[in-house]
Amino acid sequence: MEPTSDSSTLDIYGSQSTLRPSGLGAELTYDLTLAMTIGFGVVFVFVMLLLWVAWRRQTPAGHWWVWSGGILLPVAAIVVLMTASTAILVASTRSDDEALVIDVTGYQFWWDVVYDPDGIALRDANELVLPAGRPVTLRLKSDDVIHSFWVPSISGKMDMIPGRINTLTVRPEEPGRYRGQCAEFCGLSHPRMAFEVVVLELDAFDEWLLTTQGEARDAAQPELLAGKQVFIDAGCSACHEIRGVAEGGRLGPDLTRVGARASLGAGMWRMNQGNLAGWIADVGDMKPGAQMPSYNHLSGPELRAVSAYLASLR
């Protein structure tokens, strides 16, 4: 199986580009990049012109050129750049008391997400749902090695360091789908540690928060019931939580609404029953280094049942 990078699956991925900004931090950074590229393009052309003149004339340049072009101009350019970039850094990440707080913890190679940790403490994984037009303070942590949180279309990146909490306030603007990626080498499947960001209108976000709380959807059909039983009997709950079914497992992603995610395996595969079955039977093939055992001893019907059950959790 191939990772979902072919064009037929592009629709599940949102933009992951600093050149398509859709959040305050990313927009300011984009403007700075544009200004720098144009400004220093002009400087480059000017210097090339001087070089051409110098070659043509073959007369030694005076001290004035050395002082102005070699010292004054670079110093002025650096001062302007430093002032602009510092101001932009401060403006794009300034904290806000009204901000919604979300805890995001990096693990090899997935993301644990807790909305409003001091209030409703809604846990989810590998996907970040954000309100458009409202500041959100992300408390970034890690429980193993150093990761880095980066959603290029929304904001700059921020390291996730074990034993520390780094806060990053983001201001998403346009509703839509975006893609984030771990930006610090963190082990074998580091390039496969991505995630989805879904930005919703404020009302839609509040409704999402409300409807997503609570227990997992009930298994009604016989196959889904059987799948739920396989989940319990196979010991998946040692690492995974499904609210209302098996609670407390924290070594792997929360699966309460795993079927609602657009992707499987932290932004890598299309979420569907077939990929779920493949993942459970041979996770090492789909994500080398993932810290989950393969369950290739499950029978065909068991595998079908448990993957159908997980796909139904929306």
Binding residues for ligand HEC (CB under 6 A): 109-110, 125-126, 189, 231, 234-236, 238-240, 251-253, 255, 258, 261, 264-266, 276, 279-280, 287, 290-293, 295, 306, 310
Give SS3 for 198.
Answer: strand
| Cα 149 to Cα 158: distance, rounded to the nearest angstrom | 5
Closer CB to Cu ion, 182 or 305, in the complex = 182
Pick the binder of Cu ion from 141, 147, 192, 287 (CB under 5 A).
Answer: 147
Q: Residue 191 or 214: which CB sits closer to ligand HEC?
A: 191
Q: What is the DSSP string of 253-267?
A: ---TTGGGSSEETTT
According to CB under 5 A, which residues from 165 to 184 bind Cu ion? Answer: 182
- Measure the CA–CA gap between 158 and 20, rounded to whole angstroms: 19
Question: For the chain, what is the largest distance between any 2 Cα atoms, rounded to a whole number of angstroms?
Answer: 92
Distance CA 259, CA 264 (A): 9
Nearest CB to ligand HEC, comparing residues 20 and 270: 270
Choose the contact partner of 276 out of Cu ion, ligand HEC, none; CB within 5 to 8 A by kind: ligand HEC
Residue 74 CB, shortest distance to Cu ion, in Å, is 37
Output the CA–CA distances (angstroms, integers) from residue 104 to 123, 127, 135, 152, 305, in the order listed.
10, 10, 16, 17, 31
Of 110-118, 128-136, 189-197, 243-251, the window that binds Cu ion (rule: CB under 5 A) is: 189-197
Q: Which does 179 bind (CB under 5 to 8 A by kind): ligand HEC, Cu ion, none?
A: none
CB proximity list for 290: less than 8 A, separation 6 or greater: 109, 189, 265, 283, 284
3-state SS record for 47-80 = HHHHHHHHHHHCCCCCHHHHHHHHHHHHHHHHHH
> In whole angstroms, how close is the CB of 127 to ligand HEC at the nearest point?
8
**Shortest reach from residue 253's CB to ligand HEC, in Å:** 4
193 lines the binding site for Cu ion (CB under 5 A): yes
| Binding-residue total with Cu ion (CB under 5 A) | 4
140 in contact with Cu ion (CB under 5 A): no
Strands 166-170 and 176-181: unpaired
Write out the two tokens for 80: 């302007």
Phi, psi of 224 (to 5 degrees): -70, -40
Q: Please report, as residue ranges, which positions from 209 to 248 form the binding site for Cu ion (by CB under 5 A).
A: none
**How far apart, in whole angstroms, are the C-alpha atoms of residue 289 and residue 108?**
8
Q: Give the DSSP letter of residue 153.
A: T
User: Shortest Cβ distance from residue 289 to Cu ion (Å)?
Assistant: 11
Taking the least distance from each CB to ligand HEC, the nearer of 150 and 269 is: 269
Q: Is 258 in the site for Cu ion (CB under 5 A)?
A: no
Query: Given the complex with ligand HEC, which of 110 and 178 has the nearer CB atom?
Result: 110
CB of 186 to ligand HEC, least distance (A): 10
Contact by Cβ (8 Å): 134, 100: yes
Nearer to Cu ion, 186 or 313 (CB): 186
Nearest CB to ligand HEC, comparing residues 92 and 307:
307
For Cu ion, the binding residues (CB under 5 A) are: 147, 182, 186, 193
